[in-house]
């Protein structure tokens, strides 16, 4: 009796041309112009970033385009300590939930320029963009966020956005 | 005795070969809004929502979660999803309505078949050990089935071309259809094979689309529609996974589903059959014992528009809307999923 077959390798590769959609495209195009845009829901007036095809509370497209500041508050964060796959930096590094000034929902991005163990809730940060020649319709046009030097935001200012 | 549930609204996007503008939320929102408006309901009135879609088509995980934004699911909505054609989402919603504590359900589905290579994507649904590594594409598998039907004399290539011609000509009146008009049978038969014995006209188009449908229990359904169309029976069955274990010239699962849905007795005015390939319509007609008097696929069927995960639910919606418009009293709607009619759902609809 030969050895039982325990593993069947089956390599799968599928290629897709994904559609970003009308609403999300406006966000991506803005990033290529060094801008961050959100969309205001006409019903609950909350500003979503990126803008959305439908406000998840009201079920209507976020209509009005809102130009957002490049400054933000760290609402919560995690320190990545374990190396895996295609990671951008050697651990430890910080991935944070960032509430851009003027937005009602945080985005995720990297926080650098400060030791990982000093990142904290309420830390004020600003976007560090790639050089103009490298700007593209991707969130990677923002290299990371780094401390802006402003005093920490009071907890009450971002409590509702955790 | 099941609780009578009616289809009270149906909306669909026109199918297109490639929708490069809209992502899933943007596809779903207009059909959900249109179906709710038809039913004179708001999102808050809906007791349960079920959707059908496949991440393999979209090429991204949990795409159905982003599509949920169209529902306004916050505060949390009672909601479920099937990684299947929306016809099976309708089945789940129908079962949920049998519980009796809610009166309405929203069912929607969407599919963008254009984003990847559909023939390769569909190969991923096959048995992963013995069949999928060979990557037999969806058209080749359908061709195997067509070959068995031809070899056993159940149908001819001319019969198949006639199905294509009828579907495409019927689709001329359907604004949601993608393939309209047809050359005559002789011309169709002079075309080269795509995958022998299938020619292009024997195969469905590749389509992007979405549809939504509202179910309501009687008597609440009468507030949503002047002509609620009642589901008198619904059932679905599946064939063995191994293609070699099946007789491809039969569809025993369709026959069994039809029996349990009550579709093998009485007569039908029309039938919407989810037959993506011409020979499958001929096979389904046999299994469902549909006589010549039954108008089959007045919408043009899946040969005229085949958004994956949508085309089955659209058969139920099309059949129901035709009854609501007075085109008949009783209709059969069928949906399929998987290679060579792997899984089949049969639904019996009646005008009230």
Q: Judge contact between B305 and B207, C-beta under 8 A.
A: yes
A60, A125: one domain: no
Q: Of the given ranges (A5-9, A156-160, B226-230, B250-254), which has the lowest mean pLDDT?
A: A5-9
Q: Flag whether residue A41 sits within 8 Å of chain B, measured between CB atoms.
A: no
Vertex B64: Cα angle to A37 and B175 (nearest 5): 90
- Number of residue pairs across A and B with CB atoms under 8 Å? 84
Specify the DSSP element, H or E, that contains A32: helix A22-32
Length of chain B: 352
pTM: 0.94
Banded pLDDT at A86 (limits 50, 70, 90): confident
Banded pLDDT at A122 (limits 50, 70, 90): very high
Number of separate domains in chain A: 2
A39, A100: one domain: no
Please give the sequence-ordered ranges of beta strands (E in DSSP) within chain B, or none if there are none.
5-12, 48-52, 79-82, 104-112, 193-195, 198-199, 208-217, 229-238, 270-272, 295-296, 330-337, 343-351
Q: What is the ipTM of this complex?
A: 0.87
Q: How near does any CA of chain A get to the CA of B74, in Å?
A: 5
Q: Judge contact between B198 and B139, C-beta under 8 A.
A: yes
The CB-side HSE value for B101 (13 A sphere, CA atoms) comes to 4
- Alpha carbon distance B132, A10 (integer Å): 8
A77, A30: one domain: no
Domain boundary among the residues A50, A68, A86 is at A68
Write down the domain spans for chain B.
5-117+206-224
- Check residue B20 and give its pLDDT: 92
Compute how many other C-beta atoms are within 10 angstroms of the C-beta atom of residue A96.
25
Strand pairing category for B208-217 and B5-12:
antiparallel
- Check residue B175 and give its pLDDT: 94
- Find chain B residues with C-beta within 8 A of A17's C-beta: 115-116
- Alpha carbon distance B28, B31 (integer Å): 6
Strand pairing category for A142-147 and B5-12:
unpaired
A93, A59: one domain: no
The helix/strand count (H/E) of chain B reads as 12, 12
A38, A57: one domain: yes
Domain boundary among the residues A68, A99, A130 is at A68
Burial class (CB in 10 A: 0-12, 13-18, 19+), B100: exposed
Q: How near does any CA of chain A get to the CA of B30, in Å?
A: 10
The string over B182-217, giving b where at least 16 C-beta atoms fall within 10 Å of a residue's C-beta and e elsewhere, is: beebeebbeeeeebebbbebbbbbbbbbbbbbbbbb
pLDDT tens, N- to C-terminus, chain B (352 residues):
699 999 999 999 999 999 999 999 999 999 999 999 999 999 999 999 999 999 999 988 888 998 999 999 988 999 999 999 999 999 999 999 999 999 999 999 999 999 999 999 999 899 888 888 888 999 999 999 999 999 999 999 999 999 999 999 999 999 999 999 888 999 999 999 999 999 999 999 999 999 999 999 999 999 999 999 999 999 999 999 889 899 999 999 999 999 999 999 999 999 999 999 999 999 999 999 999 999 999 999 999 999 999 999 999 999 999 999 999 999 999 999 999 999 999 999 999 9
| CATH tag for B5-117+206-224 (out of 3.40.50.11720, 3.10.129.10, 3.40.47.10, 3.40.50.2020) | 3.40.47.10
SS3 category, A59 = coil
A59, A95: one domain: no
- Alpha carbon distance B277, B204 (integer Å): 6
Q: Is residue A148 part of a domain?
A: yes
Radius of gyration of chain B (CA): 19
The boundaries of the domain holding residue A46 are 19-68
pLDDT at A108 over 90: yes
Q: How far apart are the first and last CA of chain A?
A: 61
Q: Judge contact between A45 and A151, C-beta under 8 A.
A: no
- Check residue A90 and give its pLDDT: 87
- Candidates B22, B23, B45, partner chain A, best to mutate (most A CBs within 10 A): B23
Domain boundary among the residues A36, A68, A100 is at A68
Q: Is residue A133 part of a domain?
A: yes
A90, A162: one domain: yes
- Find chain B residues with C-beta within 8 A of A105's C-beta: none
Contact A19 B112 (CB under 8 A): yes
A31, A73: one domain: no
Q: Is residue A3 part of a domain?
A: no
- Alpha carbon distance B145, B244 (integer Å): 11
Average per-residue pLDDT for chain A: 94
Distances B297 to B17, B163, B262 between C-alpha atoms, Å: 21, 10, 20
């Amino acid at each position: 009796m030969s050895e039982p077959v325990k593993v069947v390798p089956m390599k799968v590769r599928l290629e897709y041309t994904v559609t970003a959609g009308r609403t999300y495209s406006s966000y991506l195009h803005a990033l290529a112009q060094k801008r961050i845009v959100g969309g205001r829901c006409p019903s609950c007036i909350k500003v979503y970033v990126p803008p959305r095809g439908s406000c998840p509370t009201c079920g209507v497209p976020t209509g009005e385009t809102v130009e957002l500041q490049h400054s933000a508050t760290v609402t919560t964060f995690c320190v990545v300590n374990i190396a895996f796959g295609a990671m951008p930096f050697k651990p430890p590094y910080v991935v944070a939930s960032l509430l851009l000034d003027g937005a009602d929902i945080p985005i995720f991005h990297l926080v650098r320029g400060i030791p990982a163990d000093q990142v904290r809730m309420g830390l004020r940060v600003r976007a560090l963009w790639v050089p103009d020649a490298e700007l593209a319709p991707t969130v990677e046009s923002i290299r990371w966020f780094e401390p802006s030097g402003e005093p920490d935001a009071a907890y009450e200012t971002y409590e509702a956005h955790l | 005795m099941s609780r009578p549930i009616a289809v009270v609204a149906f909306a669909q996007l026109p199918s297109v070969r490639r929708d490069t503008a809209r992502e899933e939320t943007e596809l779903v929102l207009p059909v959900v809004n249109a179906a709710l408006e038809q039913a004179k309901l708001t999102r808050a009135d809906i007791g349960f929502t079920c959707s059908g879609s496949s991440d393999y088509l979209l090429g991204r995980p949990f795409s159905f979660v982003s599509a949920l934004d169209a529902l306004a699911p916050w505060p949390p909505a009672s909601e479920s999803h099937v990684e299947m054609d929306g016809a099976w989402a309708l089945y789940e919603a129908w079962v949920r309505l049998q519980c009796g504590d809610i009166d309405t359900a929203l069912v929607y589905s969407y599919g963008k078949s254009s984003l990847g290579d559909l023939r390769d994507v569909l190969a991923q649904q096959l048995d992963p050990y013995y069949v999928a590594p060979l990557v037999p594409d969806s058209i080749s598998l359908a061709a195997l089935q067509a070959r068995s039907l031809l070899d056993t004399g159940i149908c001819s290539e001319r019969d198949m071309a006639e199905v294509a011609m009828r579907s495409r000509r019927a689709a001329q009146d359907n604004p949601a259809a993608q393939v309209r008009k047809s050359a005559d049978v002789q011309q169709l038969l002079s075309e080269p094979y795509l995958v022998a014995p299938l020619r292009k006209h024997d195969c469905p188009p590749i389509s992007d689309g979405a549809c939504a449908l509202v179910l309501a229990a009687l008597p609440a359904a009468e507030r949503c529609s002047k002509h609620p169309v009642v589901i008198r029976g619904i059932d679905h069955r599946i064939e063995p996974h191994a293609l070699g274990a099946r007789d491809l010239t039969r569809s025993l699962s369709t026959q069994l589903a039809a029996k349990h849905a009550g579709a093998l007795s009485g007569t039908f005015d029309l039938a919407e059959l989810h037959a993506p390939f011409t020979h499958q319509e001929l096979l389904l007609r046999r299994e469902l014992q549909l006589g010549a008097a039954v108008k089959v696929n007045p919408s043009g069927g899946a040969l005229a528009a085949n958004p994956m995960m949508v085309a089955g639910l659209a058969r139920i919606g099309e059949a129901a809307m035709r009854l609501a418009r007075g085109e008949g009293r009783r209709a059969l709607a069928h949906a399929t999923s998987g290679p060579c009619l792997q899984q089949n759902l049969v639904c019996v609809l009646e005008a009230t």
